[in-house]
Amino acid sequence: MALEFFASVVIQSERVNLEFRGRALTIIYLIRLLFQVYTLMLFARILASWIPQANEYRLMQFVSYYTDPYLNLFRRVIPPLGIFDLSPIIAFLCLGFIENLLIKFFAYLVF
């Protein structure tokens, strides 16, 4: 009788553990997806900065609205060197670092 109870508790515990892991993996997947979309938006914004007419389109206005505040954080710290603006490179590196930090945090919670 006690063995059956212990076995049912272990099975139920495994089921809860698998459900938690599944949810955590879904969160990790969503974090990766959001960071990839934002990285593409940053890339599009940087390319559009070379084409002034691109800012007339609503899509680029949307992208600029959400990426310029992030890029401006780095532009205040790292001024352009002549015609070269190095702040997007640092922005990409920081974005990747934050993404990896969040994913490792959630992976640590799960595994």
Around Cβ 88, how many Cβ atoms within 10 Å?
Answer: 19
The answer to whether 13 and 88 are in contact (CB under 8 A) is no
- Does residue 10 have a pLDDT over 60? no
pLDDT at residue 67 above 80? Answer: yes
CA atoms 67, 35, 40, 97: torsion sign: positive
35: its two tokens = 């960071």
Query: Taking the domains of the chain in order of start, what are their residue ranges?
Result: 2-110
pLDDT tens column, 19-59: 777 787 888 899 999 999 999 999 999 999 889 898 899 99
Say whether pLDDT at 88 is over 70: yes
- Please give the share of the chain, as a percent, with pLDDT higher than 70: 83
Rg of the Cα atoms in the chain = 22
pLDDT band at 3 (very low <50, low <70, confident <90, very high): very low
Q: Mean of the pLDDT values across residues 8-17?
A: 52
